[in-house]
Amino acid sequence: MTAKPAVVVTGSGAICGSGRSPAAIVDALLEGRSALAPIATWDVAHWPRPIAAEIADYNAAVLAGDRKLLKLIRRTDVVGLYAAGEAVAEAGFVVYRGGLDEAAAARFSERTGLYVGSGGGTYQNQYDYFPLIRETGGELPGFGSELVSGVNPMWLLKSLPNNVLCHVGIRFGIKGPNACITNHSVSGMLAIVEGAAGIANGEADRAVAIGHDTPIEPQNVLYYHGAGLLAREMLRPFDESRDGSLMGEGAGALMLESDASARARGAAVLGRVLGAGHATESEGLLAIREDGDGPARAMRAALADAGIDRGDVGMIVAHGNGTPASDASEALAILDVFGANAPPVTGFKWAIGHLIAAAGAIETVLAFEALRRGVVPGIPTLERIDPAFAALPVSRTAARSRSDIALVLSRGFGGTDAALVVRAA
Amino acid sequence: MTARRRVAITGLGLVTPAGNDVASTWATLQSGRSMGGPITIFDASGFSTRIAAEVKNFDPRAVIDDRRLLKYANRSHAFALAAADQAFADAGVRPTPATSPRWGLAVGTGMMGMGWPELSSLGLAAGDGEDVDPERLLASDTGRDPMVFCRAQNAAGLALLGRRHGIGGYATSVHTACASGGQAIGTAMKLIRRGTVDCALAGGFDSMVNPVGLAGFCLLGAVSPDNDDPTHASRPFDATRNGFVLGEGAGFVVLEAWEHALARGARIYAELAGDGNSLSSYRITDSHPSGDGPIQAMRWALADADATPDDVDYVNAHGTSTPMNDRSESAAIHVVFGDGAGRVSVSSTKSMMGHLIAAAGAVEAAICALSIHHGVLPVNANYVNPDPDCELNLVTGQARPHAVRVALSNSLGFGGSNSCLAFRHPEFDGGRA
């Protein structure tokens, strides 16, 4: 058995309703400020579930940093580009490569990977066809023959689920191994997992990992409500009165790097990725096992992969999406794996909402920031813990982390569960 | 590096325009018969391109004995369910409650969205310019239909496959456009190598043969407009090529850690030996004409497979039949193989079954495994007029009997992702001590 090469973090970026940097978002969490509020993007006066965490003062041109690009990308891509840009800038990637000779710079670009967790297609993508559909009465022959004059010729390119992969690659000249993961709300965490694995396996020396999603659109919100997944007013993870999740939007990004690469560049190390674990319950698209089998197996595998004992974990960042079934099974899994002496458990969705494909990425970014401060932010929307899992160490108020190690959980449709173990620098 | 786990391909499943199973698809690919034809599954009469390679005579209920599961499946999901069933039956192994956590799942999933009936009905009921009127959306049939939601999820195919086969380990869905299928299979190989799982179901599925999918490609001018001659419309590397022919379908493989396959005496079609995965970072739709991007993918796949260009006997090209792709890919093959470029046999099976988009790389991986297993190279159909920019040793006319030591499969996607998979004959030991 050879030791796994160390994977470190040398840059991070985040944007969501609570702020535009990891520090600003964790400040908001610690101050008890939630970005969940009535949706402003459309009139929700008659809307059955009107609450979400939108990015305030969204300005696409400013966030994308390139007005011309807006013809080719959508809101979800804009936030992904923004977070990636922040992580790349903090890592000093472009400046460092600029100091290399041509051959070394080319190799540097080829030895840089790019891994993206993307929300993939949204319903709004297809609305570009509405004017022509109405004009032709939904009749296909007319729709086909008027297509070229009636629809943006760039429709397909603008709708690609892998647009962030494409445009971050072009912007920063990244040419190494890559993936675009469209796997519901484990996508963001899997982007980090695969990026770290690519580095550990020697396929790349560094990699940008991004999760991005903007799921707050009328049709999508309506379907989540129809599936019984959305809360009326507040997202209350692990509370006995919890009644569902609420959506957020944004992105999180990390620059991952081999220890050797970071040292050779003299880059400041923000933290490291220790290990990951995975399980799938495979009960169907929306079904979740009550016994927490999936998250329990994922957490045990992650601890084993990291080579640490459960007692080494200082804090747990739960998926905590606020739905009755997910929170209950997740709590049982945490108690099963960590026993009576579990470290402080928290979650961030009560404030930033559920960022779906971006959730695991931004929550890992925030976990690093919390570890850096040694603080486990509280869950102020928690009023009374569900007696079904009263021993779960969650709190309204902040606590000290027991160590510099955090375990982060993500759960997605299809019964997918992923756990990631990270350590502060 | 050689101490790492080897990965065996032990089961194959195909639903393609060339046939609804492995045997019929393989027979078509040897015949050189191109399956392009007029679109029959919707009224394409108004579109600039009215041809595609459709999956024919496919009845999901005849091959999937689970009505409840099929309720959640769209056309591409049904292809996936059928191909995955075939692959497990072919492999003679499947997850059990005891082994389930050690089985992984990696799928290349197409662009998800509403089907035409739902989209057009919503547009008429609630469209407001290029947006939806939220008030009218609330009252619309589409807005109230939970099946539209379930079928449009990226994870829908993964969820159906996971449930049907009880896969309990790492499960993922990836999308890098036309490279998706190749990247999914490469991902599964890595999961086995790094010990996350011991076995995996991997593949891809797609059907963009629908009004929205076809519209997207018509708008870009990416599909061949040769409506009057559909069986010659897909002609990769021919000087007169003018776009691809849209296909549909699914391809799945069962992968096992080498020792796992040996221990149960499994038939090994081929070793999945290498993955080269690069990013062109040039333009959304094209690689650089020099082949930059695909060059790295092929080189990295060979290095990963402990193989050299001299070991390669067959390249299953991406070969879409678009002017740009085929030129860039040819340039890349010349750079990678140098003086050996005239020796290595190349074909694009898209000449016969069209471009299966997110399924293409997975189906073509299965074809590489079959080429190694049978020692036969499938045809590059419709090649008549040489293009000086695409001088390759193409398999023209008849399928070519040829022992294959190493095969490569290229999949080059919109967005710039390049996937190259390397396959070794199970008994070929060149490059390894």
Residue pLDDT, tens place only, B282-331: 999 888 999 999 999 999 999 999 999 999 999 999 999 999 999 999 99
With beta carbons under 8 A apart, name residues in chain B contacting A47. 134, 138
CATH number at residue A20: 3.40.47.10
Distance from CA of B99 to the nearest CA of A (A): 13
B288 is catalytic: no
Residue pLDDT, tens place only, A333-345: 999 999 999 999 9
Task: Indicate whether A199 and A144 sit together in one domain.
Answer: no
Residue pLDDT, tens place only, A181-238: 999 999 999 999 999 999 999 999 999 999 999 999 999 999 999 999 999 999 999 9
Task: Indicate whether A208 and A150 sit together in one domain.
Answer: no
What's residue B112's pLDDT? 87
Number of domains within chain A: 2
With beta carbons under 8 A apart, name residues in chain A contacting B220. 153-154, 156-157
The reply to whether residue B132 touches residue A130, judged by beta carbons under 8 angstroms, is yes
Show the domains of chain B with their CATH numbers.
Answer: 7-112+153-424 (3.40.47.10), 116-150 (no CATH)
A2 part of a folded domain? no
Q: State which residue of chain A sits closest to B120, comparing Cα positions.
A: A138
Task: Indicate whether A49 and A131 sit together in one domain.
Answer: no
- In this prediction, residues A28-55 reach a mean pLDDT of 97
Task: Indicate whether A229 and A197 sit together in one domain.
Answer: yes
The reply to whether residue A129 touches residue B121, judged by beta carbons under 8 angstroms, is no
Residue A315 has a CB neighbour count (10 Å cut-off) of 26
Q: State which residue of chain A sits closest to B124, comparing Cα positions.
A: A134
The answer, yes or no, to whether residue A2 has pLDDT greater than 70, is no
With beta carbons under 8 A apart, name residues in chain B contacting A137. 124
Task: Indicate whether A230 and A196 sit together in one domain.
Answer: yes
Task: Indicate whether A32 and A75 sit together in one domain.
Answer: yes
Q: State which residue of chain A sits closest to B219, comparing Cα positions.
A: A153
B355 is catalytic: yes
B178 is catalytic: yes
Percent of chain A with pLDDT over 90: 97
Nearest to A236 by CA among A320, A171, A158, A335: A320
Task: Indicate whether A71 and A135 sit together in one domain.
Answer: no
Task: Indicate whether A181 and A142 sit together in one domain.
Answer: no
What's residue B287's pLDDT? 86
> What range does the domain containing A152 cover?
124-156
Task: Indicate whether A270 and A336 sit together in one domain.
Answer: yes
ipTM score of the complex? 0.98
The reply to whether residue B48 touches residue A163, judged by beta carbons under 8 angstroms, is no
Task: Indicate whether A68 and A187 sit together in one domain.
Answer: yes
With beta carbons under 8 A apart, name residues in chain A contacting B173. 181-183
A316 is written with which tokens? Answer: 């747990």
Task: Indicate whether A165 and A150 sit together in one domain.
Answer: no
The answer, yes or no, to whether residue A302 has pLDDT greater than 90, is yes
- In this prediction, residues A372-391 reach a mean pLDDT of 98
Average pLDDT taken over every residue of chain B:
97
Task: Indicate whether A213 and A276 sit together in one domain.
Answer: yes
